[in-house]
Amino acid sequence: MSVILALAPLVAAVGCGGPEREIRSSLSNADRQRFDLGQRLSTPCWSCHDLYGQQNKVGPYLAGVYGRKAGSANFPGYSQAMRSSGFSWDERSLRSFLLDPNRLVPGTTMVASGPRGPAEVDALVFYLKHVSQAVSRKLRNP
Ligand code: HEC
């Protein structure tokens, strides 16, 4: 764990074309650690989701997901459960979904996604929120 945490800033500094670098430089040390942990925990998500653009994969694109109505991206593969869930993605709903997708959206086709416990899910949501908001701004003002 500590080795991975020590490497995370390095990985983040090398970057991946996203807004991470800019976001990190605006954060306090404690928040930067949270952000880096969240980024590390998000790695498995990107085989099924696009965070930077609007490409659909196995799952809907997550660019701009923060504040978006659940099940409302231009993605044909949503479950009926997600389409008709009727809430928006905020810190609370993301935390709940990422800890236990099927509990928040019974019948969702997304299975458990990785974070274990409150500290991990908090970091993951912190990361998603920051990147998603930066990407939304970029998509609005390219
Ligand atoms: C194996 C593929 C897969 C992985 C890995 C995965 N997801 Fe998903 N995700 C999906 C699918 C499929 C859906 C659509 C579920 C539905 O319609 O019920 C989804 C839906 C979502 C949604 C709702 C989006 C919307 O438009 O309403 C969020 C948020 C989300 N995933 C976040 C994540 C995060 C964060 C991770 C990593 C921790 C992750 N997912 C990992 C397949 C995946």
Domains in the chain, please, with CATH? 2-140 (1.10.760.10)
Q: What is the mean pLDDT of the chain?
A: 89
- The one-letter code for the residue type at 38 is G
Q: Is the dihedral of CA 124, 136, 45, 97 positive or negative?
A: positive
Burial environment of residue 119 by CB neighbours within 10 A (0 to 12, 13 to 18, 19 or more): exposed
Segment 35-50 shows an average pLDDT of 96
* Shortest-distance atom of ligand 1 to CA 81: 18
Instruction: Indicate the pTM of the whole model.
Output: 0.89
What is the C-alpha separation between 137 and 19, in angstroms, rounded?
Answer: 11
What is the C-alpha separation between 19 and 131, in angstroms, rounded?
Answer: 7
Segment 95-122 shows an average pLDDT of 93
Span from the CA of 12 to the centroid of ligand 1 (angstroms):
23
* Shortest-distance atom of ligand 1 to CA 89: 29
What is the C-alpha separation between 142 and 120, in angstroms, rounded?
Answer: 32
Asked if 16 contacts 27 with a C-beta cutoff of 8 angstroms, the reply is no
Q: What is the largest CA-CA distance in the chain?
A: 43
CB atoms within 10 A of CB 31: 15
What is the model's pLDDT at position 112? 75
> Is residue 91's pLDDT more than 90?
yes
Atom 41 of ligand 1, nearest CA residue: 45
